Structures are given as C-alpha cells and as structure tokens.
Amino acid sequence: MNSLRKFIRQFEERVALRIMQLSFALIVLVLGAILFTVLSKGLPSVTWEIISQPPQGGYHFGGDGGILNAIVGSLALALGAALLAFLVSLPVALLMNIHLANRKKTLLGVRFVLDVLWGVPSIVYGAFAFTLMIYLGFRASLLAGIVTVTFLIIPIMLRAMDEALQGVPKALMEASTALGATKTQIAWTVYLRSAAPGLITAVMLAFGRGIGDAASVLFTAGYTDYIPTSLGQPVATLPLAIFFQLGSPVPEVRERAYAAAVVLTFLILIISLTSRRLSRVKS
C-alpha cells in the first residue's frame, strides 16, 4: 500500500516536471524561431545605407536609400510619448499610494479601470485619437502620434509605477511622518528614492511598448519619406515601415521590412538592457 502511494507520488512529480520542461522548451523554441526568422531574413539587408539614409526616389520599388526616417520618427514619437506619459503618471501614482493609500475601494476602482485600459487594443486608441483629430482639425502628424501613444502607454506606465510604489514599506511612511515630514515631502524624497528602480522600469516598459506599436500610429502619425522638422509634420515609424514594405510585391523591399524589424528588435533590446542597468545602479 505504502509502496503504491510512493510510486504514485513519484510518478506525479515526474509528470509535473516534464510538463514544465516541455512548456519551457516550447517558449524557447518559439522565441528562437522568431529571432531566427527576423535575423536571417533581415541581417543581410541591414547595411549602413539602410540605417543612415532616408528613402531616395524609387526606394519603394527597390531603389536607393534606407529607413532613417522611420528610425528617427519612432524614437521621436516614443520619447515624446514617454515624457508626456511620465509627467502625468508619476503624480497620479504618488497620489494613489500616498494620499489615497487608505481609500481601498477607490484604489480598487482606479486599478480596475487602468487594467482595462491596459487591455484595450491599440487600434482602438488609434480610432479614438483619429476622431479627436478630426474634431479638432488636426492632421496626421508627429504631435498627434505622440498624443495617441501617450494615451496608449499611460495605463502601462501608471500601473507599473503603482506596483513599484506599493512595494515601499508602510513603516517608512510612519518613520518619516514622525520626523515631521509632510506627505508631499515624503512622496518626493522617501517614496521616489525607495521605488526608483521600479519607476525606471515602468518608464522603459512603456517606452518599449510605445516604440513597437503600429496600430495606434496608423491613422494618427501618418507616414512620410522625410525626417520631420516640426511637430506638425507627419512622421514615419518602424512598425509601419515593416507593415508597408512587407506588403510590397518587390522582393528587395520585403527584405528591407525584415531589416526594419531587426532595427526595432535591437532598439528594444537596448531599452531593456538600459533599464536593467539603471535599476541596478539605483538600488
């Protein structure tokens, strides 16, 4: 009897372990396949010309030039949106965790709404912003793109900041209150410093999401072969560069789509590494 039980337990243990190992292998395989496809198809096309020049005449039929317009555009768009989102998210996250810390029901509601907003597909943000643009008489432009991506990434940045601030021990609030600090002083010194690694991660996470999103900028940022010189001009982005070039009948142009994908993946890799590095320094 005992030996049967022992056998079953060991069997369970082994099966469970196998399932976990299989799942792990599956994930590694899929990730590897994605990276392999993008790199094998894209790397040969990543030349100095591609990353250092905007499209020249006839580029979209296989002519000279590169995707500098999309690289600069994506960076400008994501930086602008991350900055705007940061300016809004940080005060709200501090408000939630310091002044509303005891309003459990309010917080539950706010977090629920933010989680829903996080889950809303980005094309919906695009459609919403497009309506807003028409109403306000805006054209597709860098500014409109930045505002749309800001809407898209605020829930992400805010919730990630919220999680970081929730990790600050409550006793730290008590200790600093006892020293005679006001809530605002505690927020800007103790909470910001204590949660700094998480806050940096939040910004980087939102930045990464912003730079990689195609649907939200499809209607709002437009697309252009030129590097914009003002906020009012349309702007190209890497996700859309992939999208448009992949749909081309010309094989060389399709290869350049993979080159754009490589560049985008590389940018996101840099963002992750930077955020890890910064978080570690700050903690």
Partner 1 sequence: MESSIARTDAAVSVRNLVVRSGKTEILKSVSLDIPRNGITVLLGPSGCGKTTLLRSMNRLTDLDPSLSLSGQILIDEDDVLSKQGDITLIRQKMGLLLQKPQPLPMSIFENIAYGMRLKGIRDMVVLRRRVEKHLREVALWDEVKDRLNHSARMLSVGQQQRLCLARGLAINPEIILADEPTSALDPLSSRAIEELFKELKKDYTVVLVTHILRQAKRLADHVIFLYLGDVVEQGPAEEMFNNPKTERFKEYLTLGI
Q: Count of CB atoms within 10 A of residue 281's CB?
A: 10
> In this chain, which of 30, 134, 172, 273 binds partner 1, going by CB under 8 A?
172
Q: What angle do CA 190, 195, 198 make, to 5 degrees?
A: 165
Judge whether 160 and 202 are in contact, CB under 8 Å.
yes
> To the nearest whole angstrom, how small is the minimum distance from the Cβ of residue 47 to partner 1?
47
Residue 281 in contact with partner 1, rule: CB under 8 A: no
Residue 177 in contact with partner 1, rule: CB under 8 A: yes
Q: Measured on CA atoms in the order 161, 167, 172, 174, is the torsion positive or negative? A: positive
Total residues contacting partner 1 by CB under 8 A comes to 20
Residue 190 in contact with partner 1, rule: CB under 8 A: yes
Q: Which two three-digit tokens encode residue 22?
A: 């299989």
Q: Which of residues 92-131 bind partner 1 (CB under 8 A)?
A: 102
* Cα dihedral: 263, 264, 270, 271 (round 10): 160
Residue 94, CA atoms < 13 Å, CB-side half-sphere: 20
Residue 46 in contact with partner 1, rule: CB under 8 A: no
Residue 173 in contact with partner 1, rule: CB under 8 A: yes
Q: Which helix (H) or strand (E) holds 151?
A: helix 142-166
Closer to partner 1 by CB, 274 or 283: give it.
283
> To the nearest whole angstrom, how small is the minimum distance from the Cβ of residue 194 to partner 1?
4
> To the nearest whole angstrom, how small is the minimum distance from the Cβ of residue 104 to partner 1?
10
Q: Which residues bind partner 1 (CB under 8 A)?
A: 102, 169, 171-182, 185, 189-190, 193-194, 196
